[in-house]
Structure 1
C-alpha cells in the first residue's frame, strides 16, 4: 500500500532537493527512502527504479532552467541576449548544482521528446538570430555556446578557477565578450 502523501512528483522534487544538497550521483531510492523515513520497497509503488527517479529529476531541472533562461532573455537581442542567456545558465548552476547536473542526464528518446530540451535549443537559436548566422554556422554556434557554458559552469563549480589571482567573474565577462566577437565575425550580412 502506498504511503499517504507520497507520489512520483513529490518524490522527484525531494530527489531534486537531495541532488542539490549531496550531488546528483548520490540520489538513489535508498537515500530518498531515508529522507521520508520509509522502506525502499514502499517507493516502488510510485517509481519503477532509480533510473525513473533520475529521469524525473532531469525533466524538472530542464523545465526550471528553461523557465529561468526564458525570463532572462525576454525582450533582449544581440550581445545583451547572449549575456543574459549565459548568466541565467551560470546562476542556475550555482543555485542548483545537483539539478544542473541532472539537466545533462541522458534521457530515453520518449522522455527527451516531452522534455524542455527543445525549448533550450529554440532559445539558443533565438539569441543567435541577432547575429544573422546562416547554416551550418548557426548549428556550430549552438554547439559552441552549449559547450562553453557547460564547461565553464562545471569547472567553476569544481573549483577549477580558484587557483589563480584572476577572479572567475573577470574571465566570465572576457569569455562572453570573446563569444560575442566570434559570433559577430561569422555574421552572414
Structure 2
C-alpha cells in the first residue's frame, strides 16, 4: 500500500536534504525512510532503489543549479557573465554540497526521468551560449567547457575539504582565477588538431 502524501518528489527532496547534511555517499534508504517517518518498504513504491534515488537527486540538483546560473547570467556577456556563472556555481556547491556532488559523479539515471528533466540540457545550452560570446566554435567550445568545469569543480572540491591552507583567502584566489579564465577565453589559442599525438 502506498502511504498517502508520499511521492517520488518528496522522497527525492528528503534524500537531497540528507545528502547535504551527511554527504551523498552516506545516504541510505533507511535514513530517508526515518526522515519521512515511514517504513523502508514504503519508499520502493516511489523509487526503485538507492541508485534510482541518487539519480533523482542528481536531476533535482541539476535543475536547481541551472536555474540559479541562468538567473545570474541573464542579460550579461563576456567577463560579467563568466563571473556571475562561476559565482552561482560556487555558491550552489557551498550551500548544497551533497546535491552538488550528485551533479559531478556518473550516476545511472532512468532514461525516462532524464528525458523529462530540463536541467542538464539547459546547463549545456547556457554554458555553450556564454562561451560563444568569446567567439569560440567547436572543437574549442567543448575544450573550454571542460576547462571551466575542471576549474570550478576543482576549486570548490578543494575548498570543501579544507585544501587551501595558505593565509591568502580562497575568495581572493577565486577572483583572480575568474580574471585569468576571462583573459584565457579572450585569447584562446588556435586549435592544433593536426599536432595531436
TM over 0.5: same fold? yes
Tell me the CA shift for residue 80 of structure 1. 0.5
Cα–Cα, structure 1 residues 140 and 109, in superposed 2: closer, same or farther, change >3 Å?
Answer: farther
Other structure's SS at 1:134 match: coil
Q: Runs of at least 4 residues of structure 1 off by over 4 A? A: none
Tell me the CA shift for residue 28 of structure 1. 1.5
- What is the aligned length? 187
1:93 aligns with 2:93: yes
Tell me the CA shift for residue 187 of structure 1. 7.4
Consecutive unaligned residues in structure 2, runs of 5 or more:
191-197
Q: Report the Cα distance in structure 2 between the residues aligned to 1:19 and 1:53, rounded to whole angstroms.
A: 11
Cα–Cα, structure 1 residues 90 and 179, in superposed 2: closer, same or farther, change >3 Å?
Answer: same
TM-score (norm 1): 0.93
Q: Report the Cα distance in structure 2 between the residues aligned to 1:182 and 1:11, rounded to whole angstroms.
A: 43
Consecutive unaligned residues in structure 1, runs of 5 or more:
none
Superposed CA offset, 1:51-93 (max 9, x none):
1111111110000001000000000000000000000000000
Checking the alignment, whether the CA contact within 8 Å between 2:56 and 2:109 is kept in structure 1 is: no
Q: Please list, as runs of the form range in 1=range in 2, the aligned pairs for 1:10-89 lying within 5 A after superposition.
A: 10-89=10-89
TM-score (norm 2): 0.89
- 2:123 alignment partner in structure 1: 120
* 1:154 aligned to which of 154, 157, 167: 157
Checking the alignment, whether the CA contact within 8 Å between 2:69 and 2:85 is kept in structure 1 is: yes
Q: Report the Cα distance in structure 1 between the residues aligned to 2:110 and 2:138, rounded to whole angstroms.
A: 25
Superposed CA offset, 1:93-142 (max 9, x none):
01111111111242447254443211111111111122101322111101
Q: Report the Cα distance in structure 2 between the residues aligned to 1:47 and 1:82, rounded to whole angstroms.
A: 37
